[in-house]
Structure 1
Amino acid sequence: MAELRYNPLLDSWVMVSAKRQFRPYLPKDHCPFCPGSGKVPAVYDVHVFHNDFPVLTAEPPEPEDVGGGLYQTREAAGRCEVILYSSDHHATLPDLTKSQMKRVIDLWTKTFDELDKDEKHQYVMIFENRGEEVGVTITHPHGQVYAYPFIPQKVKVELDNCKKHLQKTGRNMFDDMIKEEKRFGQRVVLENDYFIAFIPFFTDTPFGLFIVSKENKTALTDFSEEEKNALGDILQEVIGGMDHLFNRTFPFMMGIHGRPSNSENVESYYRFHIEFYSPMQTKEKLKLNAASETAGWAVAIPTRAEDNAVLLRKAIQEFWENGGIKNK
């Protein structure tokens, strides 16, 4: 059974897929994403394939007859893809060479472009879950791409508020965010010619990093080759820094936010950016939501963005002192 169920309280859709409860927790001595498993090519660099346990499919079944009145259902139409970064079971993004990282971004871009053109899709999101703390069941480094038949609620709220900001001020909200973060300075952790990384003033997780395009671009397909290389660099640097924060593979959820598919032009008020969320508070403590945070969406953060930005800047320096990005 797979379907979409409408939440009239929040004007949003919930994806239901009973099949996903059977996702395997694999033993450490077997990995379906490693060459020789029979699941992936015997030799590969980067690779994309359909998720075995998708919540959205190109040819979904009819929804069950469980709705009525306020309770609408829809077919769970869309796509769920898996992207492998490398055939090396231990090579996370900061472990890749510059050329390997560029191939990952090229595959992200190609997959996004293909799914973005399908008129049934309203939003395409590239994301990664990293670490057992956020529910990862296969440790081989990989990301995913979902093509939704709706705009996810968080993105919809961002779009609405960015549009209101443009109407009120005549300016793109992301330009104003970048201006303020650079003016204050203490929350900025890294910057290159095309992107800036900072833990925003309003972060809702202790190390809730943002990477934002400096140019008014809204999708991977908008970027030049030079910009994609710069995106790869800043991603490897900040994630490499995260791994040096507590001398361990840093668990996080990462989502790439861009323009909706088959929609109005949002270039004047929205912007390509990447958001990170992590349960890590300190080396020993996880930051888990309290009842008021889940029930009321009233987030309470136990640390200051300014203090955590200092830690992350220092950790990025340690990443470089320990070898940094491999130039191949």
Structure 2
Amino acid sequence: MLDPRPDTATMRQDVLTGDWISVAAARQNRAFLPPDDQDPLAPASAANPSEIPSNYDVAVFENRSPSFGPALAEPEDASSPARLSDLAELGIGRSRTAIGRCEVVCFSPESSGSFGSQTVSRARTVIEAWADRTAALSALPGIQQVFPFENRGEAIGVTLHHPHGQIYAYPFITPRTLRLIDSVERMPGLFPDLLAFELASERVVLRGEHWSAFVPFAARWPLEVHLVPHRQVPDFAATSGQERDELAVLYRLLLRGLDRVYDTPTPYIAAWHQAPVNVHRDDIRLHLQLTSPRRAADKLKYLAGSEAAMGAWVSDVTPEHTAELIRAGLERERAASGERTS
């Protein structure tokens, strides 16, 4: 018998920044690196009453330890952030219900692996799930932004080795996206101009018909790659079948190449940035920000005083050198898989 779901968490506003912090204390009790025979994301068995009753290809369900939701916006409830303008106000001691959704996306019934370890066919199914859930979650009351992501590796803080990702549906526009909105308002045509600038650089690592990947000019992390569509699409739901087909191949290859930069698998956060649900749909472009704290085979970058306290980053590796490392990893992956290297 599975434990009941916790009540919806509460958000508190940090008056110094205006940010909203979800206080989800029930997450303290979530599963932590269980053995394979107690994998909560594997198909259920008599000895393992998991979330999923039977075998599957790709599965999506609500997180049992959510940061947001399962409650949704209720306009008559003063504690519910039904209006974005209400969240933008500033005051001491403000709190709201952390409405929204947190979903788990299981890439495979196997108990270990990641997105990159899946077949191209299954990777394509996951992309279809991201598109379907982005559309569905965006239509829920009070949802302002939808964020698919994958955490991989214990160095990132992963608590389950099962190949999976998550989708958060927020009741606000996230702080990072608010800064992006400021940039696109100050620089019309930002994404087309940025893509042209990066594609003309030595930092390109992959180029396809519909997508290209590059190490950004001002990369923060020792390993950082952005994967961007060539046309304006605000989110996964707006991508075409051809774009999804190519993404299944290129994204899988990119992750597998990242794993060949060093002799052991690379920990990473794969963050798919999508436009907010209701604003800037025509100028904020869907894109992947793939980052890893790994700065050498046996060294990690930790966020210390300047980065953690002040948000002022110091890069330990030049982006151009990072691009060389990733291209070399991609070549090793192509050679190992028998693909052409041209």
Q: TM-score, normalised by structure 1?
A: 0.91
* CA shift digits 1:29-72 (9 cap, x unpaired): 43121223332132100001111110111327997xxxx95221
What amino acid is aligned across from residue 38 of structure 1 in structure 2?
P
What amino acid is aligned across from residue 96 of structure 1 in structure 2?
Q
Equivalent pair of 1:243/1:249 in contact (CA under 8 Å)? yes
Distance in structure 2 (CA, Å) of the matches to 1:187 and 1:26? 36
What amino acid is aligned across from residue 16 of structure 2 in structure 1?
L
- Equivalenced residues, count: 313
Distance in structure 1 (CA, Å) of the matches to 2:337 and 2:250? 15
Distance in structure 1 (CA, Å) of the matches to 2:160 and 2:116? 18
What stretches of structure 1 of length at least 5 have no aligned partner?
167-171
Equivalent residue number for residue 242 of structure 2 = 226
Distance in structure 1 (CA, Å) of the matches to 2:91 and 2:54? 52
Residue 103, structure 1, aligned to residue 111, structure 2: no
What stretches of structure 2 of length at least 5 have no aligned partner?
1-6, 80-89
* CA shift digits 1:253-282 (9 cap, x unpaired): 111111111x13431x22110111211111
Aligned-pair distance for 1:319? 1.0
Q: Which has the higher contact order (CA 8 A, sep 6+)?
A: 1
Equivalent pair of 2:272/2:287 in contact (CA under 8 Å)? yes
Query: Which of 332, 337, 342 is matched with 1:318 structurally?
Result: 332
Equivalent residue number for residue 120 of structure 1 = 142
Equivalent pair of 1:102/1:229 in contact (CA under 8 Å)? yes
Equivalent residue number for residue 19 of structure 2 = 12
Aligned-pair distance for 1:91? 3.6
In structure 2, relative to structure 1, the CA distance for the partners of 1:162 and 1:319 (3 Å cut) is: same
Distance in structure 1 (CA, Å) of the matches to 2:184 and 2:317? 27
TM alignment of 1:20-35, pairs within 5 A: 20-29=27-36, 30-35=38-43
Aligned-pair distance for 1:231? 1.3
Residue 3, structure 1, aligned to residue 20, structure 2: no
Residue 181, structure 1, aligned to residue 195, structure 2: no
Equivalent pair of 2:152/2:268 in contact (CA under 8 Å)? yes
Equivalent residue number for residue 169 of structure 1 = none
Residue 290, structure 1, aligned to residue 304, structure 2: yes
Equivalent pair of 2:13/2:95 in contact (CA under 8 Å)? yes
Q: Tell me the secondary structure at the aligned position of residue 194 of structure 2.
A: helix
Equivalent residue number for residue 304 of structure 1 = 318
Equivalent pair of 2:113/2:161 in contact (CA under 8 Å)? no
* CA shift digits 1:167-207 (9 cap, x unpaired): xxxxx2111111111222x1111010111101101111011
Distance in structure 1 (CA, Å) of the matches to 2:53 and 2:255? 28
Q: Tell me the secondary structure at the aligned position of residue 154 of structure 1.
A: helix
What amino acid is aligned across from residue 254 of structure 2 in structure 1?
V
What amino acid is aligned across from residue 275 of structure 1 in structure 2?
Q
Calculate the aligned-residue CA RMSD, in Å.
1.9
Query: Which of 216, 219, 240 is matched with 2:232 structurally?
Result: 216
Equivalent residue number for residue 154 of structure 1 = 176
Residue 129, structure 1, aligned to residue 135, structure 2: no
What amino acid is aligned across from residue 194 of structure 2 in structure 1?
M
Q: TM-score, normalised by structure 2?
A: 0.87
* CA shift digits 1:97-119 (9 cap, x unpaired): 22111111111111111001113
Equivalent residue number for residue 284 of structure 2 = 270
Q: Tell me the secondary structure at the aligned position of residue 298 of structure 1.
A: coil
Residue 48, structure 1, aligned to residue 60, structure 2: yes
Q: Tell me the secondary structure at the aligned position of residue 277 of structure 1.
A: strand
In structure 2, relative to structure 1, the CA distance for the partners of 1:265 and 1:153 (3 Å cut) is: closer
Distance in structure 2 (CA, Å) of the matches to 1:110 and 1:18? 30
In structure 2, relative to structure 1, the CA distance for the partners of 1:323 and 1:150 (3 Å cut) is: same
* CA shift digits 1:110-159 (9 cap, x unpaired): 11110011131001100111100011011001000010000110011112
Query: Which of 38, 56, 69 is matched with 2:49 structurally?
Result: 38
Equivalent residue number for residue 85 of structure 2 = none
Equivalent pair of 1:62/1:75 in contact (CA under 8 Å)? no
Distance in structure 2 (CA, Å) of the matches to 1:308 and 1:157? 25
